[in-house]
Amino acid sequence: MNAAPTADIAERKRQLVRGELAEAAVTLLADQGFEETTVDQIAAAVGLSRRTFSRYFQSKEDVVVHMMSGPSARMCAELRARPADEPPAVALRHALSVITSLSVTNPDKTLHVSRLILDTPAVLARFLERLSRWQAEMAGILAHRTGLDPDADMRPALAAGVALTAFQTGLRRWVDRDGTEALDELVNQAFAMITPALDLGTAPS
């Protein structure tokens, strides 16, 4: 009877340690740069060994990308929760606001992490892997919302991919301009251009 609570406590502890490692990594990377920061330094900053670090992350690239894991999960949850009759473009934009809002609630950290991701090839490669997973999950949600078969119809996957590209484009511009423009507005501009392509229609009855 105690197995579930024990598992929950263990998972909360795991997430806490992962969060501490991620915060330490961001601080060190801001001070020293990506190449100059080692896994040993990140682990030592929170009182852990390199071996213990390996239980939580495979590499320092994973630590940086982890900072987007929570927001991405909330983004997909938001997409699922949008009203069933809401147009895909509107639902997708609302879902992505979960991530873009971080530029308002924690602008300095969000800008730093975003720059690390976009300007460090090894981290960008890992981030693009994550984006591919997001696209697949979002496509499944869109397919369910519209009654389309994602295995037979490319539209849900294309819509998810186009939306994420709009987000990436806005994020790139935001980073390039050192956060002097609002990320939400930049993504809104990108969405205004792609909205017609996000009209999925519905499955034939």
CA distance 171 to 163: 12
Q: Are 116 and 29 in contact (CB under 8 A)?
A: yes
pLDDT score of 204: 45
Cα gap 100→92, rounded to integer Å: 12
Domain range 3-59, CATH class: mainly alpha
Length of the chain: 205
CA–CA separation, 141 and 160 (whole Å): 10
* CA–CA separation, 64 and 61 (whole Å): 5
Torsion region of 201: left, alpha or beta (phi above 0 gives left; psi -120 to 50 gives alpha): left
pLDDT tens, residue by residue, 113-165: 899 899 999 889 999 998 999 999 999 999 999 899 988 899 999 999 999 99
pLDDT at 1 over 60: no
Residue 183 and residue 100 in contact, taking contact as beta carbons nearer than 8 Å: yes
Whole-number pLDDT of residue 185: 96
For the chain, give every domain's residue range. Answer: 3-59, 67-198
What CATH number should be reported for the domain whose range is 67-198? 1.10.357.10
What's the pLDDT at 196?
Answer: 85
Name the least confident of 5-19, 133-147, 173-187: 5-19
**Average confidence score pLDDT of the chain:** 89
